[in-house]
Amino acid sequence: MTTPTPIDGPDPASVEQPAEPAPIEAQPAPPPAPERRPRPRRAGGPIVVMAAILVVLFGGSGLFLAGFLLGARTASEPGTPADAAAAFKPFWDTYAAITKDYAGEPVARKALVDGAIKGMLDALGDPFSFYMKPEDFNNSLQGLSGQFEGIGATTTSRARDGTEGCTPLGPDCGLIVLGTIPGSPAETVGLVPGDRIAAIDGVTVDGQTSDDALKKVRGPKGTVVTLTIVRGAAAPRPVAITRDVIVQPEVIARDLAGGRVGYIAVTGFSDNASAQFIKDLTADVKAGKTAIVLDLRGNLGGYVTSARAIASQFIASGPIYWEQGPTGAPVPSEALTGGVATDPVIKLAVLIDKNSASASEIVAGALQDTKRGILVGQQSYGKGTVQEFLPLDDDNGGFRLTIARWLTPNQVWIHKKGLKPDVEVPLPTAGQPAPAPGTDPVLDRALQELGFGGAALLDWREAA
Which residues belong to the active site? Answer: 358, 369, 383
Spatial distance between the Cα atoms of 352 and 399, rounded to a whole number of angstroms: 30
Handedness of CA 142, 145, 147, 152 (dihedral sign): positive
Residue closest to 350 by CA, chosen among 251, 411, 421: 421
Contacts of 458 (CB under 8 A, 6+ apart): none
Q: Are 28 and 17 in contact (CB under 8 A)?
A: yes
Q: Are 307 and 66 in contact (CB under 8 A)?
A: yes
Contacts of 33 (CB under 8 A, 6+ apart): 13, 15, 55, 56, 57, 128, 301, 357, 358, 383, 384, 385, 386, 387, 402, 406
Spatial distance between the Cα atoms of 455 and 317, rounded to a whole number of angstroms: 36
Residue closest to 395 by CA, chosen among 64, 134, 190: 134
State how beta strands 398-407 and 319-324 pair. antiparallel
Q: Are 154 and 218 in contact (CB under 8 A)?
A: no
